A = this chain, B = another copy of it.
């Protein structure tokens, strides 16, 4: 399925409008670029701030047994409970932005079913240990991708114009590190960070685990992107990759979040390169490897506030910047309307 093209004409019309607004040309910096970016994707030279929805995908990781996280696996289910009760950071930000939020259990390891209000798409009680074997089967990967795709289709049916995917999954920064190493070619020392905050011993274990996983995968005959994602990813990461691909297919822009989200984005772009045209980078995470992942995608994040929480929080925090950019674009007076001189030559 080919991807829809962005509307270059609407983007150009937006750029022309920016030159007419009562400010020195270029003086709103990246806000001007943002307005034009959205104009081209919302196919409207003067778009209203887009209606946004946030999806949080949660799953567990077999690799947790190797002591790569500062938190026990049970925290994934506990945090899903926290999402259901509205107590997590992403709930607070979604509420501030008046954004619909949906939390999807794609594979949490728990004996209990997900709490009321959480969408149950559980594929398995977490992935397998990626250090020793493929994290998921090809069938499981297809199912996880489909979960993300389905969420996008439902959101598009509700008229959504901007999509955010966040995640929760203890040890998922290990899986993300494996994917970032594979898709960027960067060494584990550059890409593996402390995640939620492992100590030095934990960090050393995490790096060793990533090296083992990369060595295992490099021996495989097929280096297809989807095979890499199945071998090294997580259910929530694969759901996000499917989410990003389907968003682009539907012509709906997405705002990436942090380290895990960008690992999923790398996988999505490896599977379908044009997807990157529909991606905006919200923030640069404090997790060092995030910079490498964003550079590979050639995306420049808008914020850099030292966040490293995930859940979609960095993306949600960027929504007011998008709203400001588009409201300035639509509501500022032009030089003509305001009777303001455009420059020293015109006025003399």
Contacts from A to B (Cβ < 8 Å) = 21-31, 67, 69-72, 74-75, 78-79, 81-82, 85, 87-89, 92-93, 95-96, 195-197, 286, 302-309, 313, 317, 320-321, 323-324, 327-328, 331-333, 337-341, 343-344, 347-348
Contact = CB atoms under 8 A, between A and B. Distances in A.
Contact of A29 (B74, B307, B337): B307
Contact of A340 (B78, B197, B347, B348): B78
A321 B317 contact: yes
A57 to B, nearest CB: 18
Nearest to A29: B306
A195 B307 CA distance: 32
Contacts of A307: 27-29, 31
A200 to B, nearest CB: 14
A196 B343 CA distance: 9
Contacts of A92: 327-328, 331-332
A341 B74 contact: yes
Contacts of A344: 67, 69-72
Given A324-B93, A333-B87, A23 B71 contact: no
B338 A87 contact: yes
Contacts of A338: 78-79, 81-82, 85, 87-88
A82 B333 contact: yes
A195 B27 CA distance: 9
A122 to B, nearest CB: 20
A27 B308 contact: yes
A244 B343 CA distance: 32
A23 B340 contact: no
Nearest to A311: B23
Contacts of A27: 196-197, 307-309
Contact of A75 (B328, B332, B341): B341
| Shortest beta-carbon contacts, A-B, top 3 | A29-B306, A87-B333, A320-B320
Nearest to A69: B344
A75 to B, nearest CB: 5
28 contacts: A21-B89, A22-B82, A23-B309, A24-B70, A24-B195, A24-B308, A26-B197, A31-B307, A69-B344, A71-B341, A71-B347, A75-B340, A75-B347, A78-B339, A78-B340, A78-B341, A79-B338, A81-B338, A81-B339, A81-B340, A82-B338, A82-B340, A85-B338, A87-B338, A93-B328, A304-B304, A317-B321, A320-B321
Contacts of A28: 89, 307, 309, 313
Given A81-B339, A82-B333, A328 B89 contact: yes
Contact of A96 (B31, B74, B309, B327): B327
Contacts of A286: 29
Given A28-B89, A87-B337, A317-B324, 15 more contacts: A23-B89, A24-B70, A24-B195, A24-B196, A27-B309, A28-B309, A29-B306, A29-B308, A31-B305, A72-B344, A72-B347, A75-B347, A82-B340, A92-B327, A93-B328
A244 to B, nearest CB: 23
Given A87-B337, A338-B81, A341-B78, A197 B71 contact: no
